[in-house]
Chains A and B, each alone.
Chain A
Amino acid sequence: GQQVMQIPQYQHVQEGEDFTTYCNSSTTLSNIQWYKQRPGGHPVFLIQLVKSGEVKKQKRLTFQFGEAKKNSSLHITATQTTDVGTYFCAGLGTQGGSEKLVFGKGTKLTVNP
């Protein structure tokens, strides 16, 4: 079945450093979504990418969707302590004849002030 791999699993940075998490799918995706989950909280939708090669920015966050629509990345510039949490990608692909949203295992980001 469809698999969505996310790396790294953990990332620890000093405040002010950049951070990137990568997402790779075993199959071509219809779209890719990114979510953030704060410690003890629930996942919160950040953004959706649909087009091949698409790049979107939200302040210090930059999201990219690969040309083949099988990979994506989230880059945070100059991390802050408020960026702490787990970042998940989720790919919409076809599995068993129906479309399903499948999540990666997430990248847990900790930021040292």
Chain B
Amino acid sequence: DAGITQSPRHKVTETGTPVTLRCHQTENHRYMYWYRQDPGHGLRLIHYSYGVKDTDKGEVSDGYSVSRSKTEDFLLTLESATSSQTSVYFCAIGRGINLRNTEAFFGQGTRLTVV
């Protein structure tokens, strides 16, 4: 779907361990996003990127960091996983040349469980 792949698709990890989720796109789009989805909260933006090494925080960025060293990869790291970070994580790409003319195309999601 839209050349976007998330890995892993499922992960169970222990509290306090670092976790990295990967989002890979094959289409060279500028904008990439990480969202988390929880019941009753919808989709909440964690971080987003508007180019290589250009990232910004979303509304729920505490406890998360991101890196984008290549156009095609956007990594989300949970520095020390907590149970409150159990969620479904979606990566999305924005296909437009700027935010005003772009829609988000989502990956399949990563289901992360922190025990």
Q: Which residues of A approach B to under 8 Å, CB–CB? A: 1, 6, 30-31, 33, 35, 42-45, 48, 50, 88, 90, 92, 98-106
Pair A33/B103 contact, Cβ less than 8 Å: yes
Asked if B3 is at the interface of the complex by the 8 Å CB criterion, the answer is no
The 5 residue pairs across chains A and B that have the minimum distance between CB atoms: A105-B42, A103-B43, A42-B106, A45-B103, A99-B99
Interface residues in B, total, Cβ within 8 A: 24
Pair B90/A102 contact, Cβ less than 8 Å: no
Q: Which residues of chain A are within 8 angstroms of B44 by Cβ–Cβ distance?
A: 103
Is chain A's interface secondary structure helix, strand, loop, or mixed overall? strand
Pair B100/A31 contact, Cβ less than 8 Å: yes
Q: Which residues of chain A are within 8 angstroms of B42 by Cβ–Cβ distance?
A: 6, 88, 103-106
- Mark interface residues in B79-104 (1 if CB within 8 Å of A CB, else 0): 00000000000101000000110011
Q: Which residues of chain B are within 8 angstroms of A106 by Cβ–Cβ distance?
A: 42-43
In the complex, A6 Cα to B45 Cα: how many Å?
17
